[in-house]
Amino acid sequence: MFTHLNVHSTYSKMRGTASPSELIARAKEFCQTHLALTEVNGIWGFIHFVQRAKDECINPIAGSNVIMDNTDEVVLLVENQQGYENLCRLLTEVHYDANGNIARLLERYGEGLFVLAYQERVIERLINVIPKTNLFVELRCGIEERKAQALSMKYKLEMVATGDVYFLNPDDYRSHMILVAIDKNTTGIC
């Protein structure tokens, strides 16, 4: 059974187009038993998400898609209570210093977190910080499968496929791209 591990709602400012309730409803429609909510640099909307997930008998997974100003990016998923507390602390640090070093932050706050990364420079810095049982190569849209496989083999890490979900329907793509363009103060829409 596939579980979406990189999902954003309208709480991911200027990116997501679906509410937590709509995400849960779609997961239920596809008979999914688990669903992660990974807002950008936060856990915005997670309480609403948990409440709705419980109503629909879906197991919610807490997480965040952490994007640093220097373009380093990871998906963090909570393993346990310690991980949730560490995620909250790490996100506070990210908001305090978005130019910070994700490896240093995870060195301090990595316990109880699963880390998904697709950038080799990030994996190189994390390989000696995060146990291999908690560090994964992320295969997501826009990343060539053979590149992810090569990283997986090179660093002896498991590979995890994610959807990097920002919208539910193909028709919502344009709305998502308009939000991104507004956020980046550009006129170009892919």
Which CATH number do you get for residue 51? 3.20.20.140
Q: 71 in the Ramachandran plot: left (φ > 0), alpha (ψ -120 to 50) or beta?
A: left
Q: What percent of the chain has pLDDT over 90?
A: 75
Has residue 7 been placed in a domain? no
Has residue 118 been placed in a domain? yes
Has residue 50 been placed in a domain? yes
Has residue 82 been placed in a domain? yes
The runs of H, that is alpha helices, within 30-101 are 46-55, 81-96
Helices vs. strands in the chain: H and E counts, helices first: 7, 6
Which residue ranges in the chain fall short of pLDDT 50? none
Has residue 71 been placed in a domain? yes
Q: In the prediction, which pLDDT does 99 show? A: 85
Structural domain count of the chain: 1
Q: In the prediction, which pLDDT does 69 show? A: 82
pLDDT digits (tens, 9 = 90+) for 48-87: 999 999 999 999 999 999 999 878 999 999 999 999 999 9
CA R_g for the chain: 16
pLDDT digits (tens, 9 = 90+) for 76-94: 999 999 999 999 999 999 9
- Mapped onto helix, strand or coil, the DSSP state of residue 32 is coil
What is d(CA 172, CA 190) in angstroms, rounded to the nearest whole number? Answer: 13
Q: In the prediction, which pLDDT does 23 show? A: 96
The structure's pTM equals: 0.92
Has residue 1 been placed in a domain? no
- Domain range for 67: 20-184
Has residue 6 been placed in a domain? no
CB within 8 Å of 41: residues ≥ 6 apart? 64, 65, 66, 67, 91, 94, 95, 98
Q: In the prediction, which pLDDT does 63 show? A: 98
Has residue 15 been placed in a domain? no
